[in-house]
Amino acid sequence: MMMSLGLFVFKLSTLPYQTTNHQVNYTWAENARFGQRAVSQFLGPGKETLKLTGQLLPELTGGMRYLQTLQSMADSGREWPLIEGNGTIHGMFVIESLTNDNGEFNSNGQARSISFSIFLKRVDESQAAMFGDLMAQAEGLYNKASSAIGNFITGG
């Protein structure tokens, strides 16, 4: 596994990306002063993005169905946890955009080469906020499971 976005796993047989571009911006407010340089105040982290780019060779690696799976995930409007294969948790991300360029077509019109880019944007406030949300989700699932087991046992 190279990385996972929600339940979608990037690996050599699905969407093997070749490059990543991670960008973190920081927000600074500036206050002008007469006869002096402006003073700046740090306001906190700003936009964080991750771009994954790669090339698919459907005869050897994944094909369009994996890009379509990511498009369905993007269409849902949900945020997804992004976790690297080494266990690094990056946070909760949304898919901002997907692009693909098809080339080298065979006789039935199927592309033999597909270049793709996936643009992700981080949407959680912090790692602590993300784990808090995950904990709330886990508690909700536990409560539903407990209720279902109780109903099963009592026959209700």
Q: pLDDT tens digits for the chain (156 residues)? A: 999 999 999 998 898 999 999 999 999 999 999 999 999 999 988 999 999 999 988 877 778 889 999 999 999 999 999 999 999 999 999 999 999 998 888 888 888 888 999 999 999 876 665 555 666 767 777 787 777 777 767 766
pLDDT of residue 47: 94
First-to-final CA distance of the chain? 43
Task: Take residue 117 and report the two structure tokens written for it.
Answer: 């880019």
With left for phi above 0 and alpha for psi between -120 and 50, is residue 109 left, alpha or beta?
Answer: left
pLDDT of residue 128: 60
pLDDT of residue 96: 97
